[in-house]
Homo-oligomer: A and B are copies of this chain.
């Protein structure tokens, strides 16, 4: 009936992490103290910690300690940007915001973001090797991102997910993507009418809450999408 102790221990830790009991990058208590605090054996605690490490919520370093995982550009790019050049190398894109405004959510956005009424809508170009290769529309629930702002028209080496965590305590832990081939969208003259790879994403935080919706159009002559199934 009740879940096993290691699962309840993992859930308890997950809640405390989500609640911000420890800041990203900070160390958790040691195994022995944390086990005592939670009233479980060290072995049971270790099983819970191992699961959290697989989910990339924490990082463990032998001889040093256990730390809350931080959203870094590298991590965001590696895990959530599954794009490569035709030769298989992975680019590090820059980006330029074309527009940012607050407005009512479209039906699609409301469905993806689970009932959000108002969104912050961002349109940006992402540049690979200095030239635009991706057009992207991002929608954020306004309630979760109070005061969110971005400089418009400037070329940035940003990663949005780093900003989400640092500015609003929202850690993106999982994303679902749906891909189709699409005619080139309006507003991307550089696509020159070539078909684009359209990617729709819902990003979720540690507890599964939908935090961001985006749709990207990729210039498939210059970029491909790679995924491993196992």
Contact = CB atoms under 8 A, between A and B. Distances in A.
A123 to B, nearest CB: 21
A82 B180 contact: no
A127 to B, nearest CB: 19
Interface in A69-112: 79-80, 82, 84
Contacts of A226: 176-179
A229 B180 contact: no
Interface string A178-199: 1111110000000000011110
A47 B79 CA distance: 26
Given A195-B195, A220-B180, A220-B182, A227 B227 contact: yes
Q: DSSP class of A's interface residues: helix, strand, loop or mixed?
A: strand
A173 interface: yes
A225 interface: yes
A60 interface: no
Contact of A195 (B177, B182, B229, B230): B182
Given A55-B230, A79-B229, A82-B229, A195 B176 contact: no
A177 B196 CA distance: 18
A144 interface: no
Given A173-B230, A229-B80, A182 B181 contact: yes
A4 to B, nearest CB: 12
Given A173-B230, A181-B195, 20 more contacts: A55-B230, A79-B229, A79-B230, A80-B229, A174-B228, A174-B229, A174-B230, A175-B228, A176-B228, A177-B227, A177-B229, A178-B225, A179-B225, A180-B197, A181-B196, A181-B197, A181-B198, A181-B220, A182-B195, A195-B195
